[in-house]
Amino acid sequence: MQNVKGTHDLLPNEAAGFESIENLLKGIATYYAYKQVRTPVIEPSELFVRGVGNSSDVVRKEMYTFLDKADRSISLRPEFTAGIIRMLVNNKTYATEELPLKYFYLGPVFRYDRPQLGRYRQFNQFGVESVGNNSYFNDVEVIMMAYSMLISLGLNGVKLKINSIGDDASRDAYRKALKDYFAPHIDHMCEDCKQRYELNPLRILDCKVEEDIKIAENAPIVGQYLSKESEERFNNILALLSEYEIPYEVDPHLVRGLDYYSETVFEFHYVSATGNNYGAIGGGGHYHKLVKELGGPDLPGIGFSFGVERLYSVLKDDNLLPEDEDKVFIYMMPMGLQARKVALNLASDLRMSGYITDYCFDDCKLSAMFKRAEKKQAKYAIIIGENEINNDKVVIKDLNKQEQIEVPTSEVVDFFDKLGGIAD
Ligand code: HAM
């Protein structure tokens, strides 16, 4: 039986790598005073149609949508932002918590995308949303946090691409300019683009068809249509980024593929030493109308999400995956039935005291047990035989130094505590 196309398993060392990445991201989000929230994987399809937008490829082509037994249209979340906003509107957290609401999240998302390098159908995102404050300092703080996370992971050569797609007035003017530009071409463009032309001409810029990309190359850029306020906001943000020495590149073509964005949009790119380009490792932006669109008050927001698979891939390529910590790891080696009873009990004590402890269930020779311990990379073995049982003692062997001592059974936990090696 094969796994579903576009999904992947995480074997123990990969799962450990994912966890160390996620722990680092969680830690930094917490330092920025963000709190974790969790939302359902399934949501009403309508949430994404209204939230992410019915002109986006994500909603039009990539959602896993089905009818449940009561004929309700349900979708697996293709991203987090819409669900997070639904959560805060449903729970009215904006009325009880201090603004801005600062939430972080992580978990699987689903897109029926074409699987290729760095592109899965089930993948994991880690992200943040800050809702309820429109200061451009808030935008800068969010970008600063994302950048700090990537630097903390060791991705020093990360490229921040940033642009402004302006306020409503800017985008209305830009959409009109795009319509004028594409009008003489649209009959020769793909069927998707014809629909995009009607629904939202901005989405034509996401088209992947080569001939259409060529036509779009000379399309007007959004920067030419920014209102005075949007231009000022964007310049203020860029000035602060420069002041804080966060390197960026203004990408005048960056508009992002989800419909909720306004003003600042950004993406992080990183090409690993092996030359692999997995696509953007993260992206985000400001949104003005999403909270209102989903039934809440008129609150702006800004956020970003990283693709955890892509972070893992670039870190692995560049040998930057955080090392597994040096954990005390004990392997119990009981010889005989009575010893097994004592060993399982002692293992439980050690585990409850924070020591990773494994146990040999089989009635095998000591030499075979040592081989198993070595394979499991245990640091210590605890040997319990008939002699030890009779004397209420165990033998603790340091498997690196190949030294061993006898310790009374009741003092084993103390012995490890004195070594100072509490595993976390
Ligand atoms: P997004 O750019 O669609 O933004 O996705 C964020 C990140 O998810 C991408 O930069 C990429 O690393 C990863 N990603 C996207 N598609 C795939 C895929 N098929 N396979 C693996 N990784 C992928 C959002 O989802 C927005 N919700 C971000 C945001 C938060 N904007 C505001 N707040």
With 70 as the cut, is the pLDDT of residue 204 above it? yes
DSSP 367-380: HHHHHHHHHTT-SE
77 Cα to the center of ligand 1, angstroms: 12
CB of 308 closer than 8 Å to CB of 354: no
Average pLDDT over residues 309-323: 93
Query: Does 113 contact ligand 1 (Cβ within 6 A)?
Result: yes
pLDDT tops 80 at residue 177: yes
Q: How far apart, in Å, are the Cα atoms of 375 and each of 227, 325, 354, 397?
A: 65, 18, 22, 16
- Write down the pTM of the prediction: 0.94
Query: Within 10 Å of residue 61's Cβ, how many Cβ atoms?
Result: 11
pLDDT band, residue 172 (cuts 50/70/90): very high
Top mutation candidate among 88, 125, 126 for ligand 1, by most atoms within 8 Å of CB: 125
Q: Are 379 and 399 in contact (CB under 8 A)?
A: yes
The predicted structure's pLDDT at residue 36: 98
The average pLDDT across 332-341 equals: 96
What pLDDT does 326 receive? 57
Tell me the one-letter amino acid at 222: V
206 lines ligand 1 (CB under 6 A): no
pLDDT number for residue 159: 97
Distance of CA 225 from the midpoint of ligand 1 (Å): 26
Closest approach atom of ligand 1 to CA 127: 30
Q: What is the whole-number distance in angstroms between the Cα of residue 257 and the centre of ligand 1?
A: 10
Residue pair 160/151 in contact by the 8 Å Cβ criterion = no
Cα 307 to ligand 1 centre (Å): 6
Confidence of residue 323 (pLDDT cuts 50, 70, 90): confident
**Is 43 a pocket residue for ligand 1 (Cβ < 6 Å)?**
no
- Average pLDDT rounded to a whole number, residues 1-22: 96
Q: Is the pLDDT of residue 93 over 70?
A: yes
Ligand 1 midpoint to CA 125 (Å): 7
> pLDDT tens digits, residue range 44-56?
999 999 999 999 9
Q: How confident is the model at residue 424 (pLDDT cuts 50, 70, 90)?
A: very low
Residue 217's Cα: distance from chain center in Å? 32
CA of 282 to the centre of ligand 1 (A): 6
Q: What is the mean pLDDT of the chain?
A: 95
Is ligand 1 within 6 A of the CB of residue 283? Answer: yes
For ligand 1, is residue 278 a contact (CB within 6 Å)?
no
pLDDT in the model for residue 219: 96
Q: Which residues contact 141 (CB under 8 A, 6 or more apart)?
A: 32, 130
pLDDT for 397: 97
Residue owning the nearest CA to atom 22 of ligand 1: 307
According to DSSP, the β-strands at 393-398 and 380-384 are antiparallel
Sign of the Cα torsion 331, 335, 336, 342 reads negative
Grouping H, G, I as helix, E, B as strand and the rest as coil, residue 97 is coil
- What tokens does 271 get? 């090409």
| pLDDT above 80 (res 384) | yes
Two structure tokens written together for 213: 């990309």
